Amino acid sequence: MLEKGKIDSNQAVMLMVSLVLPTAILFVPAIIVKHARQDAWLAAIVALLGGLLIARLVVSLSLRFPEKTLFEYAQTILGKVPGKLVGLLYIWWFLYTGALIMDEFASFLCTAIMPETPPVVLFLVGIAVAAYAVRNGLEVLSRYNQLLLPILLGLLVITFLLVTKDMKAERLLPVFDQSAPAILKGAAVPLSWLGEIVLFAMIIPFLQKPREAHRVAALATLFTGLFFAICTVVTLSVFGPNLAAHWVFPVYNTVRVVSIANFLERLDIIIVAVWVFGGFAKMGVFYYAAVLGSAQWLGLKDYRPLVAPVGLLLIGLALLCDNIVDLLDFAARAWPPYALIVFEVGMPLFLMIVALVRGKGESNA
Amino acid sequence: MRWLIRTLSKRLFRGRKNQSRDARAANQTGDGNLFRAPRKNQVLSPDLETNLKAIKAIFDKCSDVIYREFVFAQNEQIRLALIYIDGLADKGQVSEQIMRALALEVPMVVPGQEITKARALEFIKQRGLCMHQVKETDKLQDVIHAILSGDTVLLVDGHTCAIINGARGWEARSITDPVAEPTVRGPRESFVETLRTNTALIRRRIKSPGLKIETLRLGEVTNTDVAIAYVEGIVNDKLVEEVKSRLERIKVDAVLETGYIEELIEDNPWSPFPTVNHTEKPDRVAAMLLEGRVAILVDGTPFVLTVPTLFVEYLQASEDYYERFLFASAVRLIRFVSMILSLTLPSLYIAAISFHHELFPTPLLLSIAAQREAVPFPVFIEVLIMELSFEILREAGVRLPRPIGQAVSIVGALVIGEASVRAGLIAAATVIVVALTGIASFTFFYSFSIAFRLLRFTLMVLSAALGLLGLISGLAVITIHLCSLRSFGVPYLSPMIPTTGVDLKDVVLRSPWWGMFTRPRLIARQDQKRQEQGLKPTPPKNPRP
């Protein structure tokens, strides 16, 4: 085993929430609102249902091979060479998504608080912190996340409560105004984010109780999806569909609205701070998956030598993206079908079918 | 990073290691010995002269060793000798209970059964000595150690056995108020430098045969007595084994303070955070033992180590448990906030002034800008100067002789605070920030605040370079580091992370005593139950006058 640590189910749930949430609440509400307008929260719930299905699929597949990660059982199912190919694809995907996450964070930070800082500095800082976490292993990464995620979510919920005086329920009306295809189109983006739960296949072997994996994945998806829906409802009821679709970071703008007694304002900077903590966690998970996966793919005994090179690769990939417009367009249009169809649904489904046909793995899961 | 440190430390310490290896080699071959040690298992000879000669040879040029030869009152043929160290043995006891009894006072003897040389030892042991602690040995090594420990050794001519009398008594500091951990409410006793007194202080609080105190000797030259205390039935047996094995691994020439041991047994030597706690309060040690920890006492120091150590321990004053729980929780909350302030306040100030002006409400920003108008330094330099001068003042306050203290505090307050602001060198807001940071770092344990003092400067540099992002990254790295720490197998941040629900009752808030049913789960593996449930006091419904 490359990883000696074990994490308990609570930590796994939190890790899987952090896997999706920190960048998703930055970008996704605006994209859904663009497609589904005031029915965006409906789209979020549709996405949640889809996310539950993906989680179910991935966990069922993994539980047929409870001791193995995605990279190891792909080879068991497909044979050595095709399995390695699938592994290579997933390494690419983890790397690319990791770079995308860094880009999202860097562009957010550049837009929100540090307009003059070159992105590469932000990448370097982010990778340095995440690399330290990854080097320390899964256990430490999930403990760090367990400490900070509740603070992140707590502060978000508090600020949502503080903006209640600016919310107007009629901005959500009329309900079901949009056509079903528009809602489904809006649901595709959050679904592609929720589908990142595929990465859980790398974590399941390190659960203290792998049998609880179904519960863990379902809980994490449910929580993330509902939080999505709440975020969209809050932004919609504060700004209405037109304005909400116009903002790049609607939730961030919602926080800026808070002004209590002319003293409790400018809370945005606190939220930014907490988001950055979350971003380290999210980046850390993908970084970890990429490093662990590469080590398994290469058949190494220890994944630590790969931490630095993979980090450099992540920085290099992140530098490919030029600006926030480019990034937004990619995240809204190119990434969802690519991630969703190939890596989040297509490949697990394919592996599952082949495993069933060839009778690989334990069927009792 | 790690290999860099490793190679560096190898380079740096290689010389020293070799040296000690040479010394050990010299010791084995016998030349360059520090003193003439007795051979292992060398036994005493029946001849008094030979024994005395051997002992005198060992204690050559030790002017504090006293040899007193005399004859037995019962039978003048029997020669006796007393050996002890002046200042370590209680002279009153030695002269009254040993000398007087043997040399002058003649105990009743059954006629016809005169004391012969052969029976002398037995007779002296049974009826001759008025001592309560008497031991016998025939090994020269034990004799030497007994003398060095302050015992009085009695040699009897014609016997290969020496009698060791436990008549220790030396000048020692009496038990006083704790200096480093003062309390308003709670026991005022603190440990002293004598191991026996310290173990007695613990024993007086835990009157149970379950309290075990094992001793061993560390330090090849100092031969310091070290005691391991734990409560059997509560402590995790594996923990005791682990502590013992870590202690037995230690091969040093001297153990003068628990700090020597601390550095040799801790889990992560490179961490700024201490993973072995120490205290000078017996009540705190007793409470620790009752939670399943192990205490390590060292002769010669009033500080006692306790392991395993958790992060939260440093925020828990013993007083928290003696005050009523609501107040105790509130105070602990303040301590928690001050901990965060003492770590981040200066760097937050730097980041806000140099990068994120929007953090301040407008009126405050204007007033700070007005103050800083005349200041010639960038804010980072300004804060750095103030922090450094505060550290210098603090260090001076600890080192300087008491009578000068007043002068330094006046100079410090006037020059650093008042004058620098008047002169327009430093903004008043900076003085406030630095002062608050300094005061906040005194609210929790001193050894812990040292870590925060070190990290504070790192964070200041980071936030001067990258603003809030630098501060956050620094904090994230500190958090990750804290998550990775363990103290004797127990995660440092537990019970917060990994979360053990029931143990959260005693972290930031302290639950009332009737709510503390269990001991900390990760420390005390056995006997989790602390007390009965349902102890919450309910006054009778119809109170009678």
Look at A143 and B483 and tell me if their CB atoms are within 8 Å.
yes
Q: Do B356 and A269 touch (CB under 8 A)?
A: yes
Contact at CB, A132 and B466, closer than 8 angstroms = no
Cis peptide preceding A174, ω within 30 of 0: yes
Chain A nearest C-alpha distance from B448 (Å)? 20
DSSP, residue by residue, A204-260: GGGBS-GGGHHHHHHHHHHHHHHHHHHHHHHHHHHHHHHHHHH-SSHHHHHHHH-EE
Strands B134-137 and B79-85: unpaired
A146 vs chain B: nearest CA distance in angstroms? Answer: 7
CB contact under 8 A, A117 and B476: no
Q: How confident is the model at residue B318 (pLDDT cuts 50, 70, 90)?
A: confident
pLDDT at A364: 56
In degrees, rounded to 5, the angle at the alpha carbon of residue B484 between the alpha carbons of residues A273 and B443 is 65
Residues B218-243: tens digit of each pLDDT? 998 898 999 999 999 899 999 999 99
How close does chain B come to A227, measured CA to CA in Å?
A: 23
DSSP B127: I
Residues from chain A contacting residue B481 (CB–CB below 8 Å): 132
Nearest-neighbour CA in chain B from A133: distance (Å): 6
- Partnered with residue B155 across adjacent β-strands are B81, B162
* pLDDT value at residue A156: 86
d(CA B491, CA A44): 38
CA angle (B233, B236, B240) in 5-degree steps = 105
**Residue B22, pLDDT score:** 46
Please tell me the predicted confidence (pLDDT) of residue B470: 92
Higher pLDDT, A290 or B536: A290
User: Looking at per-residue confidence, does B83 or B76 come out higher?
Assistant: B83
- Shortest distance between the Cα of B430 and any Cα of chain A, in A, equals 21
Residue B7 — pLDDT band, cuts 50, 70, 90?
A: low
Q: Which residues of A touch B475 (CB under 8 A)?
A: 277
Rounded Cα gap, residues B424 and B165, in angstroms: 72
**Per-residue CA distances from B504 to A14, B287, B314, B520, B522 (Å):** 19, 17, 15, 9, 12
Q: Return the pLDDT at A127.
A: 94
Give residue-wise pLDDT tens across range B132-188. Answer: 888 888 888 889 989 998 899 999 888 888 999 888 888 888 999 998 888 888 899
In the numeric block, the tokens 């949009």 are attached to A178
Q: What is the pLDDT of residue B183?
A: 87
- Residues on chain B touching A265 (C-beta within 8 angstroms): 361
What mean pLDDT comes out for the span B8-15?
54
In chain B, what percentage of residues exceed pLDDT 90?
42
Confirm or reject contact between A239 and chain B (CB < 8 A).
Answer: no
Residue ranges per structural domain of chain B: 48-165, 195-309, 325-484
Q: Closest CB to B468: pick one of A10, A266, A269.
A: A269
Kindly list the residues of chain B whose beta carbon comes within 8 Å of any beta carbon in chain A.
355-356, 358-359, 361, 466-470, 472-473, 475-477, 479-481, 483-484, 491, 493, 496-499
Mean pLDDT of B275-299: 94
CB–CB contact A136 B480 (8 Å): yes
User: Residue B82 in contact with residue B98, Cβ under 8 Å?
Assistant: yes
Which ranges in B157-272 belong to alpha helices (H)?
195-205, 237-248, 258-265
CA distance B58 to B144: 8
Cβ within 8 Å, pair B484-A147: no
For chain B, percent of residues with pLDDT exceeding 70: 91
Q: Is the pLDDT of residue B452 over 70?
A: yes
Of B519, B507, B530, give the one whose Cα is nearest residue B329. B507
The dihedral sign for the CA sequence A29, A35, A40, A42: negative
Contact criterion met (CB < 8 Å) for A147 and B497? yes
The model carries a pTM of 0.88
Task: Say whether pLDDT at B319 is over 50.
Answer: yes
**Hey, how many other C-beta atoms are within 10 angstroms of the C-beta on A205?**
21
pLDDT tens across B360-372, in order? Answer: 888 888 999 998 8
Residue closest to B285 by CA, chosen among B225, B209, B215, B227: B227
Please indicate if any CB of chain B lies within 8 Å of the CB of A325.
Answer: no
* pLDDT of res. A174: 79
pLDDT for the residue numbered B269: 92
What is the mean pLDDT of the segment spanning B28-51?
A: 68
pLDDT tens figures, A226-248: 998 888 888 888 888 888 888 88
Q: Chain-centre distance of CA A140, in angstroms?
A: 19
* Per-residue pLDDT, A1: 58
The per-residue pLDDT for B275 is 92
Q: Chain A: nearest CA to B3, how far in angstroms?
A: 12
A307 in contact with B at a CB cutoff of 8 Å? no
Mean pLDDT value of segment B452-468: 93
A283 to chain B: which residues are within 8 Å by CB?
A: none
CB-CB contact of B450 with B270 (8 Å):
no
User: Is the predicted pLDDT of residue B1 greater than 90, yes or no?
Assistant: no
Rounded Cα distance, A340 and A217, in Å: 17
Return the residue of B nearest to A269 by Cα: B359
Q: Which residues pair with B518 in a beta bridge?
A: B529
Distance CA B182, CA B120 (A): 55
Question: Minimal Cα–Cα distance from A60 to chain B, Å?
Answer: 27
- Residue entry with tokens 């074990």: A6
pLDDT tens over chain A, length 365 residues: 577 888 889 899 999 999 988 888 888 888 888 888 888 888 888 899 999 999 999 999 999 888 888 888 888 899 889 999 999 999 999 998 999 888 888 888 888 788 888 888 999 999 999 999 999 999 999 999 999 999 888 988 888 888 888 888 888 877 777 788 888 888 888 898 899 999 999 999 999 888 889 999 999 999 999 998 888 888 888 888 888 888 888 888 888 888 777 766 777 787 788 788 999 999 999 999 999 999 999 989 899 999 999 999 999 999 887 778 888 888 878 888 888 888 888 899 999 999 888 887 776 54
Give the 3-state secondary structure of residue B310: coil
Q: What is the pLDDT, as a whole number, of residue B9? A: 58
Contacts of B469 in chain A (CB under 8 A): 109, 113-114, 117, 122, 125, 276
Sequence-separated (6 or more) residues with CB below 8 Å from residue A207: A6, A7, A8, A9, A12, A213, A216
Q: How many CB pairs under 8 A join A and B?
A: 79
Q: Which of B35, B93, B103, B92 is nearest to B68 (CA)?
A: B103
Q: Which residue has the tokens 């030497």?
A: B144
The answer to whether B469 contacts A276, with C-beta atoms less than 8 Å apart, is yes
Contact B484 A140 (CB under 8 A): yes
Dihedral of CA atoms A147, A152, A158, A164 in degrees, nearest 10, equals: -150
A93 CB-side CA count, 13 A:
25
Chain A residues touching residue B348 (CB < 8 angstroms)? none
A287 close contact with B: CB closer than 8 A: no
Residue B17 has pLDDT above 50, yes or no: no
Q: Which residue has the tokens 């989040």?
A: A344
Closest-CA residue of B relative to A7 is B498
Alpha carbon B479 to its chain's center: 27
Helix ranges restricted to H, chain A: 9-36, 40-63, 70-78, 80-112, 119-136, 138-162, 180-194, 200-203, 213-246, 250-257, 268-298, 307-318, 324-329, 335-337, 347-358
Show residues of chain A in contact with B478, CB under 8 Å.
none
- Angstrom CA distances, B350 to A208, B293, B511, stand at 44, 41, 38
Q: Do A11 and B498 touch (CB under 8 A)?
A: yes
Q: Which residues of B touch A126 (CB under 8 A)?
A: 473
Nearest residue on chain B to A265, judged by CA atoms?
B361
If you compute the radius of gyration of chain B from its CA atoms, what whole number of angstroms results? 30
Question: Are A242 and A222 spatial neighbours (Cβ–Cβ below 8 Å)?
Answer: no
Largest Cα span, chain A? 67
Q: Which pLDDT band, with edges at 50, 70 and 90, does B16 fall under?
A: very low
CA distances from B540 to B324, B500, B533, B537 (A): 22, 36, 19, 9
pLDDT of residue B24: 47
Q: What is the Cα–Cα distance from A200 to A62, expressed in whole angstroms?
A: 9
Instruction: Say yes or no: A155 contacts chain B, CB-CB below 8 A.
Output: no
CA distance B497 to chain A (A): 6
pLDDT band at B4 (very low <50, low <70, confident <90, very high): low
DSSP β-bridge partners for residue B214: B228
- pLDDT score for B97: 85
Residue B32: the pLDDT is 39
* Domains of chain A in sequence order: 9-358 (1.20.1740.10)
ipTM of the complex: 0.92
Nearest to B476 among A11, A263, A277 (CB): A277
Q: What's the pLDDT at A324?
A: 80
Q: How far is CA B472 from CA A25, A148, A278, in A?
A: 20, 12, 11
Q: What is residue B545's predicted lDDT score, i.e. its pLDDT?
A: 63
Interchain CB distance below 8 Å, B480 and A140: yes
- Per-residue pLDDT at B202 exceeds 90: yes
Residues of B with CB below 8 A from A276's CB? 469, 472-473, 476
For residue B271, the model assigns a pLDDT of 93
Indicate yes or no: CB of A117 within 8 angstroms of CB of B466: yes
Which of A122, A146, A269 is facing B358, going by the closest CB pair?
A269
List Cβ neighbours of A88 (8 Å cut-off, separation of 6 or more): A297
Nearest to B385 by CA among B344, B348, B350, B343: B350
Highest mean pLDDT among A332-341, B93-102, B440-449, B477-486: B477-486
Q: Single out the residue of B358, B320, B342, B343 nearest to residue B516, CA to CA.
A: B320
Q: Which candidate from B358, B469, B480 shows the least CB-CB separation from A114?
A: B469
